[in-house]
Structure 1
Amino acid sequence: MKFIPFYLVFGLFVFLQSCGNKQVEENKLLREKVISIHDEVMPKMGQLKSFEKAALQKASEMNGLDDPDLEKIDSLKNLAVQLNKAYEGMFIWMRQYKNEDGDQTPEEVKVYLEEQMILVTQVNEEIKEALANANRLLGS
């Protein structure tokens, strides 16, 4: 009878420990998903800058024509702004992203990673949209 409270406390400890480990594993998977969304578009960062430069150059060339297409020139300049914004968005996200959990509880880490998933997904979509627009407008 004396051992019943001990087994009860031990069983509760094991249960809580296994729940904590489960959350840590879920956080690890969530962190991997966040990084994979980042990794999907990170190799395209140079392409963003190349397209930005090409859009500005083409706008400049068109501006020098006798009868410039002002609407097309504006579209190219807006594209350059969009490409730069997408480029900067990635680096803004990377600077604020914390790869370490620090003193946070597993529950706090989960909330943080869920917020990061939303942010990195937005960055990913902005980059893909900017590249699609560049392909459309520049014909590349």
Structure 2
Amino acid sequence: MKYSIVFLLFGLIILFQSCGNKQVEANNKLREEVIAVHDEVMPKMGQLKSLEKTALQMVEELSASPDPDQEKIDALKTLAVDLDQAYEGMFVWMRQYEIEDGEKTPEEVKAYLEDQMVKVTKVNEDIKNVLQKADSLIKQ
């Protein structure tokens, strides 16, 4: 009887540990996915600032013309703001992202990473959308 309890406890410990390892592996994969979403648009950060500068230059040029197109000027001003917000959004996300898990349980890490995936996906989409908007507005 005594040995049965010891083996049962030993078996339960192994079972719980293997489940914990699976969660850690799943969290590592999720962390890689979060970073991949970030990495997809991070190289476009310079492009955001360049397009913002171009949009503001176009505003100046259009404003100086004899018959300024106020609708286009307003659209370009809005675009410049949107480009800046997308740029800043990336850095806001990066500053708050925690690389280390600290004292979090695997379940807490999973919840954190899932939340970060939502946030970084929004940043990714904002950047892609504003670049598409800039492409259509600046090349008109």
User: TM-score, structure 1 length as denominator?
Assistant: 0.99
Counterparts of 1:88-127 in structure 2, within 5 Å, are: 88-127=88-127
Q: Matched residues in 1 for 2:131 and 2:99: separation? A: 28
- Shift of residue 2 of structure 1? 2.3
Tell me the equivalent position of 2:16.
Answer: 16
What's the CA shift string for 1:20-50, capped at 9, x where partnerless?
Answer: 0000000000000000000000000000000
Q: Matched residues in 2 for 1:139 and 1:95: separation? A: 33
**One-letter code aligned to 1:83:** L
Q: Matched residues in 1 for 2:39 and 2:32: separation? A: 10
Q: Does 1:28 align with 2:28?
A: yes
Structure 1 residue runs of 4+, over 3 Å off? Answer: none
Q: Matched residues in 1 for 2:108 and 2:90: separation? A: 24
Q: Matched residues in 2 for 1:102 and 1:2: separation? A: 39
SS in 1 for 2:90: helix
What's the CA shift string for 1:54-84, capped at 9, x where partnerless?
Answer: 0000011000000000000000000000000
Unaligned runs of 5+ in 1: none
**One-letter code aligned to 1:3:** Y
- Shift of residue 94 of structure 1? 0.1
Q: Matched residues in 2 for 1:114 and 1:60: separation? A: 43
Tell me the equivalent position of 2:55.
Answer: 55
CA RMSD of aligned residues (A): 0.9
Say how many residue pairs are matched.
140
* Identical aligned residues as a percent: 63
Q: Matched residues in 1 for 2:92 and 2:2: separation? A: 59
User: TM-score, structure 2 length as denominator?
Assistant: 0.99
Unaligned runs of 5+ in 2: none
